[in-house]
Amino acid sequence: MKKLLLVLIMLFVFSSFSYAALEDELAGCGSNVRCKFRIAEKYDSFDACDSISGALRDDCENLAVGEEAAVELRSERPEQIMTTGSNIPKSVSIGTTIGVLVFIVLIILLFIRYHHYKVFGKSHASLVKYVRNSLQKNKPEKEIVDKLKGVGWSDKVIDDAIKSAKHTKK
Query: What's the pLDDT at 20?
Result: 56
Domain ranges of the chain: 2-100, 103-167
DSSP one-letter string for the chain: -HHHHHHHHHHHHHHHHHHHHHHHHHHHHTT-HHHHHHHHHHHT-GGGGTT--THHHHHHHHHHH-HHHHHHHHHHPPPPPP-SS----HHHHHHHHHHHHHHHHHHHHHHHHHHHHHHHHHHTHHHHHHHHHHHHTT--HHHHHHHHHHTT--HHHHHHHHHHHHH---
Residue 83 has pLDDT above 50, yes or no: no
Per-residue pLDDT band for 2 (boundaries 50, 70, 90) equals low
pTM metric for this prediction: 0.40
Residue 123 has pLDDT above 80, yes or no: yes
Give residue-wise pLDDT tens across range 92-111.
677 778 888 988 998 998 88
If you compute the radius of gyration of the chain from its CA atoms, what whole number of angstroms results? 27
Residue 90 has pLDDT above 70, yes or no: no
- % of residues, the chain, pLDDT over 70: 76
Q: What is the mean pLDDT of residues 83-97?
A: 62
Plot region of 44 (φ>0 → left; ψ -120 to 50 → alpha; else → beta): left
Per-residue pLDDT band for 87 (boundaries 50, 70, 90) equals low
Residue 144 has pLDDT above 90, yes or no: yes
